[in-house]
Chains A and B, each alone.
Chain A
Amino acid sequence: MPLRIIPRLDIKAPNLVKGVRLEGLRVMGKPEEFALRYFEQGADELYYQDIVASLYGRSNIIDLIKETAGRIFVPLTVGGGIRTHADIQQILRAGADKVCINTAAALRPEFITEAAKSFGTQCIVVGIETIRQTDGKWKAFTDNGREHTGLDAYDWAMRAVDLGCGELLLTSVDREGTNKGFELEFVAKIAKQVPVPVVAHGGAGSLEDIAAVAKLGVDGVAIASMLHYNRTTVNDIKQYLGSQGVEVRA
């Protein structure tokens, strides 16, 4: 399958925001306008992260999903603050195709299995937020990198797959928004091991960075700053990847 280019929109309703290491959020504009622009540029999927929901337990993103799902004719994945069966149902009914679970899964891993049974493995993504430690290992975090789970990120990712998730979203908290390039070592370790699709997120600063992570065998790449700040377009990313021998959807 072709490598999916997935613009990632962090939402603090009603705004699109962007931070560095998931903090210091800056208001960028209306998410629906950015989403439409990325759809028109040929995005293969869009990703919305409700960055408030997880802290306050209340999702304001439903109206935004309804509004954009009617204009964006590619799959939409939504994450942030999803804790219950009812949360998932509400988000899918609003027009999303997949949900991404992180905090709730870390607190109660069986939630992954239950959700996959109810809604199908294909629509349950588990988000793994990692921070590289001084000993060279990666720890798993939740709540946009604020809370440490005590879990080793590699072990947790493997467990999430065993529990039945249909996809992994790997976010490098310490690289996110920094433009320093992806966390290649961790991504490579996971992508080689798991039978489900893997999406890499956090750190894309250049077309070369994207090509480097693409060559590790990931299925998707989530990109925020480079697109939001207009440093590149989805078209340009795909053209570059194509020239580097990476299969993309034309």
Chain B
Amino acid sequence: MSVKVAVVDYGLGNLHSVVKALAHAGADVIVAEHGSQLVGVDKIVLPGVGAFSDGMAGLTKAGHVEPLKAAAAAGVPMLGICLGAQLMLGHSEEFGSTAGLGIIPGKVVKIPSDGIKVPHVGWAQLAPRQEQVWQSGALRKTAPHTWAYFVHSYHMIPDDVRDHAATVQSGAHQITAAVARGNITGFQFHPEKSGQSGLDMLSAFLFDS
């Protein structure tokens, strides 16, 4: 079964690794430079590295905002990665307050920096926060305590704790590693940089969600 997945291009960061990782996992990948290309695909991946406000500006400029909201509402499975995941929330506190896509109710806040290094960079072990959310989404086949690769200074706080799929421990704090709500999944970490485990997660998103 061929799965057609659109990777949303909005001019921020490097899509190369995400595209290659999805292709490696068996997807038929298109890079969507405009929102019109998001119509009719089986799945959508929203990647991204950089600042939240630049991300929203890029999505708006490329006409991605309404097609993304429509696809989310229509039940198209969607995976956000790093900044892409954060953009799916309601708003961010990065540089004041910027509105996001609002697909998952919640906000994006700075990682608490007392006693830990920010940016939070490196490998960390995923821990389930809400077992049933973990079990229902792209993490279903991932064992608890699997290592994933992170690079970020902000993290996601969903309004509804039931959307909170996974955390990682950093110092005395728990940082959000994944959110999930229905057809929507957001990974703070980079599955495309997380070795074979990351490829397995992408495969689960493509073929089991």
A interface with B by C-beta (< 8 Å): 1-2, 4, 39, 42, 44, 66, 69-71, 73-75, 92-95, 97, 120-122, 166, 195-197, 219, 249-250
Q: How many residues in B have their beta carbons less than 8 Å from beta carbons of A?
A: 22
| Pairwise interchain contact B149-A70, C-beta atoms closer than 8 A | no
| Pairwise interchain contact A97-B122, C-beta atoms closer than 8 A | no
List 17 A-B pairs, Cβ < 8 Å.
A1-B123, A1-B124, A42-B195, A44-B123, A70-B16, A70-B17, A71-B20, A71-B24, A73-B192, A73-B196, A74-B194, A75-B149, A75-B193, A93-B14, A95-B14, A121-B119, A122-B151
Main secondary structure of the interface of A (DSSP, over half): loop
In the complex, B198 has a CB within 8 A of chain A: yes
In the complex, B21 has a CB within 8 A of chain A: yes
In the complex, B101 has a CB within 8 A of chain A: no
In the complex, B147 has a CB within 8 A of chain A: yes
Complex Cα–Cα for A66 and B151 (A): 21
| Pairwise interchain contact A197-B122, C-beta atoms closer than 8 A | yes
Determine how close the nearest CB of chain B comes to the CB of A88; give it in whole angstroms. 12
| Pairwise interchain contact B17-A1, C-beta atoms closer than 8 A | no
The residue among B14, B16, B192, B195 with the most chain A CB atoms within 10 A of its own CB is B195
Nearest chain B residue, comparing its CB with the CB of A1: B122
Complex Cα–Cα for A122 and B119 (A): 7
Residues in A with CB closer than 8 Å to B123 are 1-2, 4, 44, 249
Residues in B with CB closer than 8 Å to A166 are 119, 121
Complex Cα–Cα for A73 and B21 (A): 7
In the complex, B41 has a CB within 8 A of chain A: no
A70: contacting residue among B20, B117, B194, B199, CB under 8 A: B20
| Pairwise interchain contact A74-B121, C-beta atoms closer than 8 A | no
Nearest chain A residue, comparing its CB with the CB of B124: A1
Residues in B with CB closer than 8 Å to A122 are 119, 121, 151
| Pairwise interchain contact B16-A195, C-beta atoms closer than 8 A | no
Complex Cα–Cα for A166 and B122 (A): 12
| Pairwise interchain contact B151-A69, C-beta atoms closer than 8 A | no
* Contact pattern, B 184-206, Cβ under 8 Å of A = 1, otherwise 0: 00000000111110110000000
